[in-house]
């Protein structure tokens, strides 16, 4: 279903409410809180059998009705990072449940240690001649992994702008249209928004250091209470990217095509800064923890800081009793990187129809209200709520920001674009060679 089929988008938009009511029930537009959904039976170690080589091309569809009909009674294999028990359970309950009830679709969540594992699976299948009947129907994907499959021509589509709920997405915004510098062009669809924040323990930190100069001074005055995870932890490698932006005076030098001379101009100062603070990091900088360990260190007050792409995480963890009441968040004066979570369909997906129905559902006001709920997911949204029905907007406005969550205005005012993938790769490899191995 590519751009050639957008002729039906106008028709779909015109009858969207009718289709939604037929397929999703009375509260599909998010006019009431999402009901409690029983857990699905998809296990955390769910797997799929490696397919045999086949030559048939994946199916395409002319209308959204065709997509919905083809998806009914099927199973969708969603390959996604499985490192968060909370996200795993939320996906099973809040996505798997409605898919089963409203569309008769079974969600098989296939957990990954690294999204690159799913990319390698697709690459291996392509090399083996598996052009349809592939293992993965949908992948939670971003940045370098998306670019790898897109440049190799191994993505199904374009399809994302043809979804009925795509009218709720602010296409045309560079933050949506580009994923770490790679043009989306309808080959992936957003489903959540992320923005980097520091979490800190206000009992240990009187005033959070909002500049890298102040942070350096704080680290030396409080040895052992700060650290950051080692690359290749992508989520937390964002800390290194922030240091690059600070050294260069902003993100501008790192946008556009990678330039070695520009990289070499700023990188030595970055390595100097990171090596200079190393001896006063947690465990004297001899080791860098994995991301889940960072969460535990802050929760147990062994360190004073954590870092995350989820601005609402601290408030949610306080409500759950994981974090102490003293945890708060802040961003640097120089800004904070933001991006979007996307899903993409491999070129050889067994069930592209089910994958598109799933992708459309997670853009719906019904589900976007769930992820925006500070007591449930606590995520930021990639959709524009001003395009929602009025009652859904009213429900969103009734939500209270968590005690540790920064205002939308502060996050928006400090948002910075991510660098293109080639820059990220150079920064990560440079850190390994010039900081970790020094």
At residue 402's C-alpha, the angle toward residues 111 and 377, to 5°, is 20
Range of weakest confidence among 55-64, 107-116, 160-169, 356-365: 55-64
Instruction: For residues 234-244, give the mean pLDDT.
Output: 87
How confident is residue 51, by pLDDT bands cut at 50, 70 and 90? low
> Bridge partners of 187?
none
Q: Cα 152 from chain centroid?
A: 22
Chain centre distance of CA 426:
22
* Residue closest to 110 by CA, chosen among 101, 102, 122: 122
Tens digit of each residue's pLDDT (9 = 90 or more) over 316-345: 999 999 999 999 999 999 999 999 999 999
35-49, 231-245, 295-309 — which is least confidently predicted? 35-49
Q: Are 290 and 306 spatial neighbours (Cβ–Cβ below 8 Å)?
A: no
Per-residue pLDDT tens over the stretch 377-430:
999 999 999 999 999 999 999 999 999 999 999 999 999 999 999 999 999 999
Q: Which residue has the tokens 């992948």?
A: 139
Helix (H) or strand (E) holding 305: strand 305-308
Domains and CATH numbers, the chain: 3-191+341-404 (3.40.190.10), 197-338+412-436 (3.40.190.10)
Report the C-alpha dihedral over residues 245, 251, 255, 258, rounded to 10 degrees.
-20
Whether the per-residue pLDDT at 59 is higher than 90: the answer is no
Rg of the chain in Å (alpha carbons): 22
Query: pLDDT at residue 37 above 60?
Result: no
Cis amide leading into 286 (omega within 30): no
State the Cα–Cα distance between residues 38 and 24, nearest whole angstrom: 17
CA torsion 403-408-410-416 (nearest 10°) is: 130
The DSSP output letter for 385 is G
Q: Is the dihedral of CA 373, 374, 378, 382 positive or negative?
A: positive
pTM of the full structure: 0.81
Q: How far apart are CA 193 and CA 384, in angstroms?
A: 11
DSSP class of 40: P
Calculate the alpha carbon distances from 45 to 49, 91, 124, 218 in Å: 13, 15, 21, 42
């Amino acid at each position: 279903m590519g751009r050639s089929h957008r002729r039906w988008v106008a028709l779909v938009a015109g009858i969207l409410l009718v289709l939604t009511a037929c397929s999703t029930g009375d509260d599909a537009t998010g006019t009431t809180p999402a009901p409690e959904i029983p857990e699905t039976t998809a296990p955390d170690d769910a797997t799929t059998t490696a397919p045999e080589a086949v030559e048939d091309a994946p199916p395409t569809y002319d209308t959204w009705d065709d997509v919905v009909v083809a998806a009914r009674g099927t199973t969708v294999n969603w390959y996604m990072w499985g490192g968060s028990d909370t996200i795993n359970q939320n996906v099973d309950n809040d996505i798997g449940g409605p898919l089963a009830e409203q569309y008769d679709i079974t969600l098989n969540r296939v957990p990954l240690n690294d999204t690159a594992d799913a990319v390698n699976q697709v690459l291996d299948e392509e090399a083996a001649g598996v052009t349809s009947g592939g293992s993965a129907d949908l992948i939670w994907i971003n940045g370098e992994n998306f670019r790898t499959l897109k440049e190799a021509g191994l993505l199904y589509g374009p399809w994302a702008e043809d979804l009925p709920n795509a009218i709720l997405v602010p296409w045309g915004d560079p933050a949506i249209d580009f994923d770490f510098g790679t043009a989306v062009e309808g080959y992936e669809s957003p489903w959540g928004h992320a923005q980097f924040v520091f979490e800190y323990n206000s009992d240990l930190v009187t005033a959070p250091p909002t500049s890298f100069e102040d942070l350096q001074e704080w680290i030396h005055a409080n040895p052992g209470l700060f650290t950051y995870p080692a690359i290749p932890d992508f989520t937390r490698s964002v800390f290194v990217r922030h240091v690059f932006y600070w050294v260069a005076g902003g993100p501008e030098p790192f946008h556009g095509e990678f330039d070695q001379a520009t990289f070499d101009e700023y990188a030595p100062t970055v390595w100097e800064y990171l090596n200079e603070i190393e001896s006063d990091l947690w465990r004297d900088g001899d080791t860098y923890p994995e991301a889940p360990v960072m969460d535990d260190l802050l929760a147990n007050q062994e360190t004073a800081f954590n870092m995350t792409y989820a601005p609402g995480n601290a408030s949610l963890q306080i409500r759950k009793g994981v974090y102490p009441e003293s945890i708060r968040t802040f961003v640097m004066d120089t800004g904070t990187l933001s991006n979007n979570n996307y899903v993409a369909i491999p070129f050889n997906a067994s069930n592209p129809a089910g994958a598109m129905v799933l992708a459309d559902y997670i853009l719906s006001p019904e589900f976007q209200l769930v992820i925006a709920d500070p007591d449930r997911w606590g995520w930021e949204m990639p959709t524009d709520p001003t395009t929602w029905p009025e009652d859904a907007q009213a429900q969103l406005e009734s939500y209270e920001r968590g005690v540790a969550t920064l205002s939308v205005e502060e996050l928006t005012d400090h948002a910075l674009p991510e660098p293109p993938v080639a820059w990220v790769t150079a920064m990560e490899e440079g850190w390994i060679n010039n900081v970790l191995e020094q």
